[in-house]
Structure 1
């Protein structure tokens, strides 16, 4: 199978979704304590999208397929769980940069097995949901930051993370 064209990087700063929500996907910020439940609610949707006969097909040459989005969501869960642990263990840590587009190419997202991705995504989502469920009230205000200067509390980090996951459910819904 020939390599599909590269997907153009999305360079928007999505931090606005923390307070404004997202008109593109319909995301509405909710209390961060709901993150675990909302994340778990996406698992059946991902299983369905990845079980589709078209899971490997891109809807357009430069738009990820469901399997590529599923790999990204799987890896996003893992990355954000690691960053959450860092925020809870260290004072105001700076997160290492992550280039999702480089990861997609280096890890061959387009060639991964949708059934394997579905199982791994579900496991990573369950583990990440449990990590957010374990937050105690005094921890929601701990901070961490990206190298571009964006500062998050654990609470705003939870909302930002959840938008990414729910937005990608929107991206693959109805294919």
Structure 2
């Protein structure tokens, strides 16, 4: 079924939409050649053109999980594959435009799951991500243990958060993630409004919060999230909704996002404690 904005398109645009929407899978030519290293992950960064006429820049690099943390590769890989979807519309299908259709998001997910999993490891991957989620509260507690409030409240610069603000952020986003899980279970394909982390930090006066109390609230909310996920029947993991910027995301996708989010902000907190942005 076309998305709601389909009715606002011209007939020519609707024809293009339907052509793109009909392509929901993109099999890899030689999937057997891919190697899924347990500790070595591909990390990538997608940068739009800085000057008119320049192409976008994609930077890829490898690091093991035992070295200094960097942003998990899945987010950037999804971003890259999202752009590949537009490339398919313009180049492979030779369409005059490219729309975000259900088929568009399905082929993005199809490529993604071929690249990051094989036929027998999808649930193992989820288990690893949930293990990451279970460790997060303890990891944050260890990082801020014994640190005075003046250090927890110190921002490394004008733009980047203090360690205390990072703790408050994960507390509030955990509530947001749980609300999305509940919406997914209550409705078919709900649409999610984007969150505004910087506005939360200002409106909720993060710097006036107690970091230890914020972390305990996060721990309680995380336990609730894990209880929900552990009780979820296998056939419900593919239920999903439409994210404002990432497109369709299943519960499985959100778990991967949360695991990445935890790692990313733990790294940010540790940098903030050192006075590094």
**TM score, norm. by length of structure 1:** 0.78
The one-character-per-residue Cα deviations of 1:51-103 (angstroms, maximum 9, x if unpaired) are: 32221111223210111000110111111011011112211111133211111
Q: 2: distance between equivalents of 1:61 and 1:67? A: 15
1:92 aligns with 2:137: no
Aligned pair in 2 of structure 1 residues 116, 55: CA closer, same or farther (>3 Å)?
same
Match in the other structure for 2:199? 102
Indicate the structure (1 or 2) with the bigger Cα radius of gyration: 2
Output aligned runs, 1:150-169, within 5 Å.
150-169=247-266
Provide the secondary structure at the position in 2 that maps to 1:59.
coil
Q: Contact 1:74 / 1:120 at 8 angstroms: preserved in 2? A: yes
1:44 aligns with 2:142: no
Q: 2: distance between equivalents of 1:149 and 1:48? A: 32
Q: Runs in 1 of length 4+ with deviation above 4 angstroms?
A: 19-24
1:25 aligns with 2:99: no
Provide the secondary structure at the position in 2 that maps to 1:64.
coil
Match in the other structure for 2:229? 132
Aligned pair in 2 of structure 1 residues 36, 25: CA closer, same or farther (>3 Å)?
same
How far the C-alpha of 1:161 sits from its partner, in A, is 2.1
How far the C-alpha of 1:49 sits from its partner, in A, is 2.9
Unaligned runs of 5+ in 2: 1-40, 45-60, 62-68, 75-123
Q: 2: distance between equivalents of 1:43 and 1:158? A: 16
CA RMSD of aligned residues (A): 2.3
Unaligned runs of 5+ in 1: 1-18
Q: 2: distance between equivalents of 1:28 and 1:34? A: 15
Aligned pair in 2 of structure 1 residues 43, 21: CA closer, same or farther (>3 Å)?
farther
Q: 2: distance between equivalents of 1:101 and 1:68? A: 10
How far the C-alpha of 1:20 sits from its partner, in A, is 5.8
The one-character-per-residue Cα deviations of 1:21-64 (angstroms, maximum 9, x if unpaired) are: 56762536672244432111111121123332221111223210
- Please say which of residues 43-52 and 67-76 is displaced more in the overlay: 43-52
Aligned pair in 2 of structure 1 residues 28, 145: CA closer, same or farther (>3 Å)?
same
Q: Higher strand fraction: Structure 1 or Structure 2? A: 2
